[in-house]
Structure 1
Amino acid sequence: MPEHPLHRFFAARRPRPTFEWERYQQRDVLIIDHPLCQAAFSRQGAQLLHFQPTGERPWLWCAEQWPQVGAIRGGVPVCWPWYGRHPSEDLWPAHGWARLLDWKLMDSHEDAQGVVLKWRLELCDWQVDLEARLGSRMELSLSTEHQDSEPCQLSHALLAYWRISDVSEVALSGLEDIEGYDHLNRQACRQEGALKPKGGCQRVYSGIPGVQLHDPAWQRQLCIDTGDSDDTVVWHPGSRPLLGVTGRECQRFVCVEAASGSDDGLSLAPGQRAHLSLQAHRLS
């Protein structure tokens, strides 16, 4: 089994340029091949689908089969301008419009530290920018500028699917003795010891700068930094089926997300900006 659905692009014998557009499962995909890392973005959603530092296993999980239309499950979807269900419109798509629309690639360049990409989405009175810095580590920064003349509400998230050996083998540290909210049991919770997502998990912790993802089977520890986001969200569906994803695939990821405004929304004044970031580096 390939390490990633996009593996075939990197297995090609011919030399590749650092940046090259390909067509895959009816999407435009930007393949990135740099001495320090390999990566792939979808133009739809400016979604980072694959990231793999040289000599390592992939850091991100992505579904093997994508729907003909609609959101791609996996990588790091940009949830914007709302996270989760829309607060008043039940028929509007979960997690907003951004992951369903094509973004414009404003800039892409490389240097000794890796690659830098800048994506932009302009919608109504909003301008949204996503900057990615990829090399031996992964850094994503999302910025929203509100350009209307009236205040507005916003919630957003960088919803990362981290690739793992098996959900039964991994644990998350950095949450010990922290108050959170367990959405599966609909009650407050306090984490005792490392969090093990096996069996299903949907927990939200406020004000947590980062967690460590321990994967003994792969002898890997990732430090995941959610920056100054309001919430760090840990999610895994457990035994619940996911549309278009096999049970075998579900065992190979856990989500650790950076989110802000998911409760009451962020109130933005005209001209004000909102920021969100997600970073990761390997500890061992």
Structure 2
Amino acid sequence: MTEQLFTLPVLKQLSPAITQCQIADLPILVVNHPTGRAAIALQGAHLLSWQPAGQKSVIWLSSETAFQPGVAIRGGVPICWPWFGPAGKPSHGFARNLPWQLTAQSEDEAGVKLTLTLKDSEETRTLWPHAFTLHAHFTLSEQCSIELESLGDFETTSALHAYFEIGDIAEVKVEGLGQPYIDKVASGEQAVLEGALTFDGQVDRIFTRPEAKSLIVDSALNRTLRVEHQGNSDVVSWNPGAENSASMKDMADDGYKTMVCVETAAVSRSQISTSTTPARLAIKIAIE
């Protein structure tokens, strides 16, 4: 699926490194730069792929996802905003299901920078009665960073819901999550993690005192992914497990084997944005 993104016909050349293409019914931005390549759907300002030069893909994208307007994309880095989970409808907020605008771009030998913007509309105000401006700032080079900046007067919960490509979920461990967590599989029970997180069946945990840096240690692909978190109160780790993966129409039955989510999130404590002080949430990803 990821490779398909980089063989799409070019609809518009925006700069030497940036083109606009389309997959099914969705426009996407494709970045080809000496430091690496990436793809971002304008719907949701949704990072679909990031691959540093000479490396395997870092971001996981479901082979079964629908690229349809208003339908959430499975995989990549969805922007969950202005709420996380089922706090409202649609689940994980509306920002990931709406078209954003490309409002800034630049590139040099170090990499590519893009800003996508979403503003309130009559449609959003029927779902959430607030005026807002939301920016997603992308820096794409040998590392990848996404900063979500929200301006207005409101409280939100949110997440940069990153899906990572791995070799085998049975051979992965995640370090740096912190110890206390809320176990959503066990009806929200609170527990303490001893050591690294490993995966045996469905996992859905909100770590409420995370470290600033998480490490995805992937022995199957012989690499470690570094995930740095800023502006967050929590880090969420999720894998649906075999049974749930088989029941999800936008994920292959064995899709759970090659993905793990490590999400920079503000869930247990909401973020407050004012007209003078925006709220910020950021993730930085690199291969160690």
**Residue 161 of structure 2: SS of its match in structure 1?**
strand
Alignment correspondent of 2:82: 81
Alignment correspondent of 1:167: 169
Equivalent positions of 1:29-178 (< 5 A) are: 29-67=28-66, 68-69=68-69, 70-86=71-87, 89=88, 92-124=89-121, 125-146=131-152, 151-175=153-177, 178=179
Alignment correspondent of 1:258: 264
**Residue 74 of structure 1: SS of its match in structure 2?**
coil
| Residue pair 2:6, 2:30 contacting (<8 A) in 1 also | no
Bigger helix fraction: 2
| Residue pair 1:61, 1:162 contacting (<8 A) in 2 also | yes
Question: Given the alignment, which residue of 180, 196, 199 partners 1:197?
Answer: 199
Cα-to-partner distance string for 1:174-205 (whole Å, 9 max, x where unaligned): 236x1111111131111112111231111111
Equivalent positions of 1:203-214 (< 5 A) are: 203-208=205-210, 209-214=212-217
* Structure 1 runs (4+) greater than 6 angstroms displaced: none
Alignment correspondent of 1:13: none
Q: Distance in 2 between matches of 1:197 and 1:165?
A: 13
Q: Distance in 2 between matches of 1:153 and 1:272?
A: 12
- Deviation at residue 3 of structure 1 after TM alignment: 5.5
Residue 273 in structure 1 maps to residue 278 in structure 2: yes
Provide the TM-score with structure 1 as the length reference.
0.88
- Deviation at residue 233 of structure 1 after TM alignment: 0.4
Q: Distance in 2 between matches of 1:196 and 1:264?
A: 26
- Deviation at residue 7 of structure 1 after TM alignment: 4.6
Question: Given the alignment, which residue of 242, 254, 274 partners 1:248?
Answer: 254
Equivalent positions of 1:10-29 (< 5 A) are: 17-29=16-28
| Residue pair 1:141, 1:275 contacting (<8 A) in 2 also | yes
Alignment correspondent of 2:220: 217
The 1:152–1:246 alpha-carbon spacing in structure 2 relative to 1, beyond 3 Å, is same
**Residue 155 of structure 1: SS of its match in structure 2?**
strand
- Deviation at residue 104 of structure 1 after TM alignment: 0.7
| Residue pair 2:164, 2:262 contacting (<8 A) in 1 also | yes
Number of residues of Structure 1 aligned to a counterpart in Structure 2: 267
The 1:175–1:271 alpha-carbon spacing in structure 2 relative to 1, beyond 3 Å, is closer
Cα-to-partner distance string for 1:111-140 (whole Å, 9 max, x where unaligned): 121110011111151000110111111111
Give the counterpart letter for 1:102 in structure 2: P
Q: Distance in 2 between matches of 1:210 and 1:263?
A: 18
Give the counterpart letter for 1:196 in structure 2: T
The 1:84–1:5 alpha-carbon spacing in structure 2 relative to 1, beyond 3 Å, is farther
Give the counterpart letter for 1:242 in structure 2: M
Q: Compare 25-34 and 245-254 and name the one that shifted more.
A: 245-254
The 1:53–1:131 alpha-carbon spacing in structure 2 relative to 1, beyond 3 Å, is same
Question: Percent identity over the alignment?
Answer: 29
Alignment correspondent of 2:127: none
Q: CA RMSD in A?
A: 1.9
